[in-house]
């Protein structure tokens, strides 16, 4: 009989987001807690009774009581799901740590904390092999014991671990280093991994689910969980990626030549997210523009920034397109216009070094004339 479950990881509940300000931080912290409800809904739709969380359930070994108790309440409420929680490097086990605190508060009957590396039967003919971390950085492969873990013939073997596949970087210090051939050596039907925050397939039986709610401007694919079905021991699993993110984090480079490019850019950005006020955008403008166009782009950025959750923008440079009309609009005198014409000639000349210096000077000139006009 087929066994279907949900694979997720790296919830990092309680992550503070201090660099984004208190209003945004509160929204993002709440979104991470609400991820539990969204994952429970995915499990219900898929007909999955079990959810495997491959480490870093919490962002720290010392989460606040509010974070801990709110999480337990949400896990308890999803009573149709059995939650299998694994300590990762952010929330590793230690004496008097959060896992003991959870037990003290009273674990919901549908929550199982896998704190010991030993086989656990989670359904008839389905065994889970967990690899909990006991330190933030582990020097040995926590999944090595999977190879010799005994199970009867015909039993579905599922591995649950947190760490980086050997020769595969998670973008920082690895929590632990895991043999990329572990699923084959340990005869696993599926190895559910956490630590890498984007969805990634290592082989047909080994996957990173990634974080279900993005927490940074990504270069991978966060914001998903995996629905996995194993038809029988030894059969290749079927894996479906399901989107779960409430917020969209987007890094975008846009080349502009004038303010007319803003309309198509805005339409593209609106298509990138289902809700504009849940977009966190790091936007870099490439190119050089006239001073008047730069003013229009700045005004657009101010207005668009009020419509999104976060806008971090790098504006385009003002280049040699600083024209007489631009200078007239800025209200400068003849001496400044003469200097600007000389700089334009250098900017358009064959001397690359002089051209670069002249373009930079034109940019500063435009800024100075605009700021002088505003203060007048």
| Residue 112 structure tokens | 């199982």
Pairing mode of beta strands 206-208, 224-230:
unpaired
Report CA-CA distances (Å) from 98 to 142, 278, 309, 367.
20, 31, 32, 54
Rounded Cα gap, residues 58 and 45, in angstroms = 25
Residues 6+ apart with CB under 8 A from 353: none
Q: Can you list the domains of the chain with their CATH numbers? A: 3-243 (3.60.21.10), 248-375 (no CATH)
Contact yes or no for 291/261 (Cβ under 8 A): no
Contact yes or no for 97/61 (Cβ under 8 A): yes
- The pLDDT value recorded for residue 374 is 46
Give the global pTM: 0.85
Residue with tokens 């040699």: 320
- The pLDDT value recorded for residue 84 is 98
- The pLDDT value recorded for residue 170 is 46
Element (H, E) at 224: strand 224-230
pLDDT in tens, the chain (376 residues): 799 999 999 999 999 999 999 999 999 999 999 999 999 999 999 999 999 999 999 999 999 999 999 999 999 999 999 999 999 999 999 988 999 999 999 999 999 999 999 999 999 999 999 999 999 888 889 999 999 999 999 999 999 999 998 655 544 456 789 999 999 999 999 999 999 999 999 999 999 999 999 999 877 889 999 999 999 999 999 999 999 999 999 999 999 988 999 999 999 999 999 999 999 999 999 988 877 788 899 999 999 999 999 999 999 876 655 666 666 655 556 777 777 777 777 777 777 777 777 777 776 666 665 555 444 3
- The pLDDT value recorded for residue 375 is 42
- The pLDDT value recorded for residue 332 is 59
- The pLDDT value recorded for residue 334 is 72
Nearest to 50 by CA among 15, 103, 86, 14: 86
């Amino acid at each position: 009989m087929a066994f279907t479950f949900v694979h997720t990881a790296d919830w990092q509940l309680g992550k503070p987001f201090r660099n984004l300000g208190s209003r945004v931080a509160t929204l993002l912290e709440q979104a991470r807690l609400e991820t539990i409800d969204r994952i429970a809904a995915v499990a219900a739709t898929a007909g999955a009774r079990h959810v495997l969380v491959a480490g870093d359930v919490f962002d720290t070994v010392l989460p606040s009581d509010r974070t801990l108790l709110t999480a337990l309440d949400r896990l308890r409420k999803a009573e149709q799901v059995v939650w299998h929680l694994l300590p990762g490097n952010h929330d590793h086990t230690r004496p008097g740590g959060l896992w003991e605190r959870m037990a003290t508060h009273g674990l919901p009957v549908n929550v199982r904390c896998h704190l010991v590396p030993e086989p656990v039967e989670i359904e008839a003919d389905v065994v889970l092999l967990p690899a909990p971390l006991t330190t933030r950085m582990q020097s040995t492969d926590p999944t090595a014991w999977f190879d010799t873990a005994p199970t009867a013939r015909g039993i579905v073997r599922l591995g649950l671990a947190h760490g980086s596949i050997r020769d595969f970087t998670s973008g920082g210090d690895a929590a632990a280093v895991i043999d990329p051939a572990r699923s084959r050596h340990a005869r696993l039907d599926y190895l559910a991994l956490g630590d890498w925050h984007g969805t990634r397939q290592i082989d047909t039986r080994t996957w990173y689910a990634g974080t279900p709610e993005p927490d940074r401007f990504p270069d991978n694919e966060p914001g998903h969980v995996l629905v996995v079905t194993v038809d029988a021991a030894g059969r290749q699993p079927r894996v479906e990626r399901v989107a779960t993110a409430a917020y969209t984090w987007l890094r975008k480079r846009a080349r502009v030549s004038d303010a007319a490019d803003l309309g198509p850019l805005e339409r593209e950005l609106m298509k990138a997210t289902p809700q504009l006020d849940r977009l966190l955008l790091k936007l870099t403008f490439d190119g050089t523009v006239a001073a008047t166009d730069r003013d229009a782009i700045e005004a657009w950025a101010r207005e668009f920034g009020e419509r999104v959750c976060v806008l971090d923008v790098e504006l385009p440079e003002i280049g040699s397109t600083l024209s007489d009309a631009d200078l007239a609009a800025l209200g400068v005198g003849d001496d400044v216009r003469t200097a600007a014409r000389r700089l334009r000639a250098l900017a358009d000349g064959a001397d690359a070094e002089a051209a670069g210096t002249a373009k930079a000077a034109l940019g500063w000139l435009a800024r100075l004339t605009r700021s002088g006009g505003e203060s007048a």
